[in-house]
Amino acid sequence: MLEPIKDCQNHIVCYADATTGLLESKYKKQTTKTYLAIGSEFTITRDMTETVIKRISTIAFAVHSYPIAA
């Protein structure tokens, strides 16, 4: 089941399923899908915010989000 992943500004940046490792991001009519192995990371940079998503197990992702300097 895909669950929303939010950034530090409380915006949804993607949807993810920890069981399969599927990560799906939709932005401006473009969809990106990838599968993360346990221990792998995926970074999404959008609107001066960077979000790093790491699959830590088959039940959870670790999310670190922060604003980036101009």
- pTM equals 0.89
Using alpha carbons, list the distances in angstroms from residue 56 to 10, 15, 27, 37.
22, 16, 25, 9
pLDDT over 80 at 66, yes or no: yes
> Hey, where are the domains in the chain?
3-67
Residues, the chain: 70
Q: How confident is the model at residue 69 (pLDDT cuts 50, 70, 90)?
A: confident
pLDDT digits 0-9 by tens, 10-57: 999 999 999 999 999 988 899 999 999 999 999 999 989 999 999 999
